[in-house]
Amino acid sequence: MALMTGKQYRDSLNDGREVYIDGEKVRNVSEHPSFKPIIDVKARMYDMALEAKYKDTLTTTLSNGEVVSRAYKAPETKEDLSAIRKHVETVLDDLGGVVYRVGDETIGEMWSLFDAQDKLNEIDPTYAKNIKYHIDRVAREDLFHVSANTDPKGDRSKLFSGKDGGTLLHVVEENDQGIVVKGAKFETAAAYAHQAFVKPTILDWNAGSEKMAPFACGFICDMGSPGLKSICRTSLGTERNPQDYPIATKFEEIDTLLIFDNVLIPWENVLFHRSLESAAYIRSTLHRYSAFNYTLRMLRRADYLIGAALLNVEQTGLTHLQAVKEKISELINYREGINAHLTAAVANAERSPGGLMMPNQSLLYTGRVFALANFPAMAHLTRELVGGQLAVTPDSTTMADPEIKQYFDQYYSVGEWTPEDRGKLLYFARDLLNSSYAGHRTTFELFAQSPPFAQQMAVFNNFDMEPQRELVRKAAGLKPSLPVTR
């Protein structure tokens, strides 16, 4: 059976990987306090797939009889896309929170590359074979696969300054065993994943300059590879009280600066090499599938905002006010806007160039922009409805102090809401909206699927503009032969 247990996942991380955090070299990543909570979340996801009640939703059986995670089956029909949505929702329901980079979102980037098989075959048929092999392998071995795109960039004029001097990740050697790469990438979850799909960052890969060739590579990197170092940022949940920071202490996903210090990538893991065309292709299609799983998480975050706002105005008796109802309605409008894009993207799904079923690209990319652009407004409305207590309420240990507890009983009791319950709601809302973790999440959401300008480019490039041109041509009586420039 292909499916991994939570324990097997934890044990698999003891593979000699080099992980650093807070000035310490980590000996056992799955037991380290900064990583344990999120590793427990991922382990729970593995165990869920083995529970009878989740079998139909979280797994699927391949034609050869192998049972694999539902998340790793490339979509071939609209039903497959609906099943992916159901998978994400079921996992998030069980976990009771929102995690992004836990495998199902990032595998979609490999499906985008699968769609480029014909082009890759023209360059070198081995690459298309390797891509197919790795897509199957992730499913067969139930691997936790993440995505490394962004190099720390620095001075853009020096990015391609020679074979060994370039600042972007590049190939420094080719030998019988494979390619040797040097460079760095930012990568959420690298320290506790099995492998990453490493690929070029956002740049003008169509520029076609020969000096860019060593940088135009894509490959699968095992996270235990010699020479690879995961240098992690401080966790925002460690040493926090779970009662006061109920989200950060459970769902903190750790970001990593991944250093490739002359790492050997075996030929069977090379997906493309010295191919500017492939670099340009993957950059323009990277989120063709994964934006769906990503935007589903934004929808769930919107639901948490609505829930926090509603419970708060209900306990303080404000719901009947017209102005409060209007603000709740605004939240609902945003939420349903995201939902509408996702639903329509499946209903109007399109056949991909590689024969898979991809969510309707225009609706998916506009949905992602809609969700991200409106999230700050949603958060602000929620903050407004929750009120100032969100920011000023003392923590749970202080509330429980017998010497002063009476004051909380007096000033924090509302009807059937005890001070403890009100505290719980306010701490939850704080971690959703105001804590360091909440701020980090907002930045993650803004950038983790490429920066806003690239998301707008995806909208521009995936909208069929001809019908609008044609409408105006006809209405204004213009010649059909007028040139279209981009």
Ligand X SMILES: Cc1cc2nc3c(=O)[nH]c(=O)nc-3n(C[C@H](O)[C@H](O)[C@H](O)COP(=O)(O)OP(=O)(O)OC[C@H]3O[C@@H](n4cnc5c(N)ncnc54)[C@H](O)[C@@H]3O)c2cc1C
Query: Which CB sits closer to ligand X, 150 or 275?
Result: 150
Please spell the DSSP secondary structure of 316-379, one letter per residue.
Answer: TT-TTSHHHHHHHHHHHHHHHHHHHHHHHHHHT-EE-TTS-EE--HHHHHHHHHHHHHHHHHHH
CB 157 within 8 A of CB 17: no
Task: Give the one residue of 416, 453, 483, 484 binding ligand X; rule: CB under 6 A.
Answer: 453
Asked if residue 364 binds ligand X (CB under 6 A), the reply is no
User: Which part of the chain contacts ligand X (CB under 6 A), choosing from 213-221, 389-397, 413-421, 448-456?
Assistant: 448-456
The answer to whether 235 contacts ligand X (rule: CB under 6 A) is: no
Asked if residues 100 and 297 have their Cβ atoms less than 8 Å apart, the reply is: yes
The yes or no reply on residue 148 touching ligand X (CB under 6 A) is: yes
Considering only 112, 147, 361, 366, the residue that binds ligand X (CB under 6 A) is 147
> Which amino acid is it at 72?
Y
> How far apart, in whole angstroms, are the C-alpha atoms of residue 178 and residue 149?
21
Q: How many helices (H) and strands (E) does the chain have?
A: 19, 14
**149 binds ligand X per the rule CB under 6 A:** yes
Sign of CA dihedral 197, 200, 206, 208: negative
Q: Does 251 bind ligand X (CB under 6 A)?
A: no
Is residue 385 within 8 Å of 327, Cβ to Cβ?
yes
Residue from 128, 255, 301, 381 in contact with ligand X (CB under 6 A): 255
Provide, rounded to whole angstroms, the least separation between the CB of residue 303 and ligand X: 22
- Give the other-Cβ count within 10 Å of 266's Cβ: 14
Q: Supply the minimum distance, in Å, between the C-beta of residue 473 and ligand X.
A: 31
Q: Which is nearer to ligand X, 279 or 390 (CB)?
A: 279
- Of the pair 35, 412, the CB lying nearest ligand X is at 35
CB of 449 to ligand X, least distance (A): 7
Among the listed ranges 89-97, 183-191, 396-404, 429-437, the one in contact with ligand X (CB under 6 A) is 183-191
Kindly give the interhelix angle for 361-386 and 322-347, rounded to the nearest 10 degrees: 160
- By CB under 6 A, the count of residues binding ligand X is 18
Structure tokens at 126: 């081995």
Please write down the long-range contacts of 337-344, taking CB distance under 8 Å and 24 or more positions apart.
Answer: 337/370, 337/371, 337/374, 338/295, 338/298, 338/299, 338/302, 338/367, 338/370, 338/371, 339/299, 340/367, 341/295, 341/366, 341/367, 341/370, 341/371, 342/85, 342/292, 342/295, 342/296, 342/299, 342/367
Interior angle at CA 319, CA 318 and CA 322, nearest 5: 95
Gap between the Cα atoms of 95 and 22, Å rounded? 27
**Least spacing, CB of residue 380 vs ligand X, in Å:** 21
Q: Toward ligand X, which CB reaches closer, 203 or 425?
A: 203
CB of 150 to ligand X, least distance (A): 4
Binding test (CB under 6 A) with ligand X, winner from 7, 153, 380, 405 = 153
Binding status of residue 456 toward ligand X by CB under 6 A:
no
- Residue from 112, 150, 167, 285 that binds ligand X (CB under 6 A)? 150
Q: Rg of the Cα trace of the chain?
A: 24
Sites for ligand X among residues 45-104 (CB under 6 A): 101
CB of 289 to ligand X, least distance (A): 16
- 180 strand-pairing partners: 173, 264
Pick 254 or 313: Cβ nearer ligand X? 254
Given candidates 267, 304, 447, 463, which one binds ligand X under the rule CB under 6 A? 447
Q: How far is the CB of 291 from ligand X (least distance, A)?
A: 13
Q: Which letter does DSSP use for residue 453 in this model?
A: H
How far apart CA 313 and CA 327 sit, in angstroms, is 11
* Region near ligand X per CB under 6 A, out of 343-351, 447-455, 463-471, 477-485: 447-455
d(CA 309, CA 467): 42
Both tokens assigned to 430: 């704080």
Q: Decide if residue 187 touches ligand X (CB under 6 A).
A: yes
Mask of contacts with ligand X, 372-411, x by CB under 6 A? ----------------------------------------
Q: Does 352 bind ligand X (CB under 6 A)?
A: no
> In terms of CB distance, is 147 or 382 closer to ligand X?
147
Angle, CA 82 vertex, CA 76 and CA 84 arms, to 5°:
80
Return residues touching ligand X (CB under 6 A).
101, 147-150, 153, 185-188, 255, 443-444, 447-448, 450-451, 453
